[in-house]
Amino acid sequence: MKIPTTDFFDFHHHTDGKTGGIYNLRYGEPWPPSYFSAGIHPHDIPADTAPHFQWLKEAVLHPRCVAIGECGLDGLIATDEKIQAEIFMKQIEIANEVRKPLIIHCVKRHSALLHYKKTAKVPMVIHGFNNRSTIGEEMMKHNFYLSFGKSVLHHVNLQQFVKVFPADRLFLETDSADFNLAELYETVSSLKGISIETLSGIITNNVQTLLKLTD
- The answer to the question of residue 186 lying near Zn ion (CB under 5 A) is no
- The answer to the question of residue 10 lying near Zn ion (CB under 5 A) is no
Give the residue among 65, 57, 84 at the shortest CA–CA distance from 25.
65
Q: Which is nearer to Zn ion, 10 or 175 (CB)?
A: 175
Q: Which is nearer to Zn ion, 10 or 186 (CB)?
A: 10
Kindly determine how many residues on this chain lie close enough to bind Zn ion according to the rule CB under 5 A: 1
* Min dist. Cβ of residue 173 to Zn ion (A): 8
* Min dist. Cβ of residue 194 to Zn ion (A): 27
Q: Which is nearer to Zn ion, 175 or 186 (CB)?
A: 175
Give the residue among 170, 149, 167, 131 at the shortest CA–CA distance from 24.
149
* Min dist. Cβ of residue 77 to Zn ion (A): 14
Give the residue among 170, 181, 161, 165 at the shortest CA–CA distance from 209.
170
Amino acid at position 50, single letter: A
CA atoms within 13 A on the CB side of 22: 31
- Give the 3-state secondary structure of residue 169: helix
- The answer to the question of residue 175 lying near Zn ion (CB under 5 A) is yes
Residues engaged in binding Zn ion (CB under 5 A): 175
